[in-house]
Amino acid sequence: MTTPEAQTLRVSEIFFSLQGETSRIGLPTVFVRLTGCPLRCGYCDTGYAFYGGESVTISSILDDVSGHMPRYVTVTGGEPLAQKECLTLLSLLCDAGYSVSLETSGAMDISNVDDRVTRVLDIKTPGSGEVKKNRWSNLEHLSPRDELKFVLCDEADYLWAVKMIDENDLDKICSILFSPVYGRLDPTILAEWILRDHLSVRLQIQLHKFLWGEGPGR
């Protein structure tokens, strides 16, 4: 059996910041951003994580995370599940006592993700350009502790998301997040649509962008 000292992951960055999204918004969190993604969403703001990065042992990642003394850890990308060793990292982070969340697209199989991890599953809308990549079978593996996210480019995306919620009873599975694409859809307008239609969803803005701007960093 390969040990964490031998297993490696391609890592773009590890940093300590405030969680900018999900129900954990505002909480001090260590982010482990893994390199690589098979999708190319038109609004992606982490394209720098598609390539490059550094090959790092899982043991070294755990040491780096520990140095920040966090309670919360988020594994993100890119698409973290594009690297199979991500599953080992997630389990070991849980073993270490952290509250762990995973930010993943709707395109990768989540069935083998440790049940202790909160999975934030990003369902791709038509406006993303990657709607055909959604793996709808993932819905069978979600629990009430998980979250579904729709990143919305415009009203067409909004109406599509509402239809998906209704057709699949998504609001009965777990919490649902509606996130406007920064600089493209006015959050106030999205808020008005949600109130008008009496949706049981959480409006989220990307807090880190309002604090530190559009570019990478925190």
Name the pTM for this structure: 0.93
Type and span of the H or E element at 74: strand 72-76
Q: What angle do CA 184, 189, 194 make, to 5 degrees?
A: 120
Q: Kindly tell me if the per-residue pLDDT of 216 is higher than 90.
A: no
**What is the average pLDDT score of the chain?**
94
Q: Which two tokens mark 29?
A: 């969190």
The amino acid at 40: R
Type and span of the H or E element at 162: helix 155-168
Contact (Cβ atoms closer than 8 angstroms) between residue 76 and residue 14: no
Q: How confident is the model at residue 5 (pLDDT cuts 50, 70, 90)?
A: confident
Instruction: Count other Cβ atoms within 10 Å, centred on residue 129.
Output: 16
Contact (Cβ atoms closer than 8 angstroms) between residue 20 and residue 32: no
Could you tell me the CA-to-CA distances from 14 to 53, 190, 207 in Å, in that order?
11, 32, 19
Q: Which CATH superfamily includes the segment(s) 8-212?
A: Aldolase class I (3.20.20.70)
Over residues 79-128, the pLDDT tens digits come to 999 999 999 999 999 999 999 999 999 899 999 999 999 999 999 999 99
Instruction: Provide the pLDDT for residue 196.
Output: 98
Instruction: Provide the pLDDT for residue 217.
Output: 46
* Percentage of the residues of the chain whose pLDDT score is greater than 70: 97
Q: Kindly tell me if the per-residue pLDDT of 147 is higher than 70.
A: yes
Instruction: Count other Cβ atoms within 10 Å, centred on residue 146.
Output: 21
Domain ranges of the chain: 8-212
